Amino acid sequence: MSNPKFIGAFSIIAIVLGIGLYIFTPSPEEHIKEEPEQVSCTQEAMLCPDGSYVGRTGPDCEFAVCPIPEGTLMEDGTR
C-alpha cells in the first residue's frame, strides 16, 4: 500500500500548501487595532458667573462651557 509516487505527491502538495499559508496569512500586527490614547484630566472645577461649576473635559482637558442663564442677551442680540 505504500506507493512511493503517492507519498511523494502528497508530500509536495503538503509543502506547497504550507508555504502558501505562511505567505498569505496576515501577521498578528495587522489584527491589532490601535486604540486612541487615553487622557486623564485633573479634577479641577471652574466657577461660572451664575454660581455653578464646570469641570475639565475632552482630549485637551479644557474646561466645559458655562451654562447660559435663561433670558441672557448674547453679544449678537440673540437669547
Please write the tens of the pLDDT for every residue from 1-50: 568 888 889 999 999 998 988 888 777 766 677 777 777 888 889 998 88
For the whole model, what pTM was predicted? 0.42
What integer pLDDT is reported at residue 4 of this predicted model? 82
What integer pLDDT is reported at residue 45 of this predicted model? 92
**Helix, strand, coil in percent for the chain, rounding step 5:** 30, 15, 55
What burial class does residue 56 get, using C-beta atoms within 10 Å of its C-beta: 0-12 exposed, 13-18 middle, 19+ buried? Answer: middle
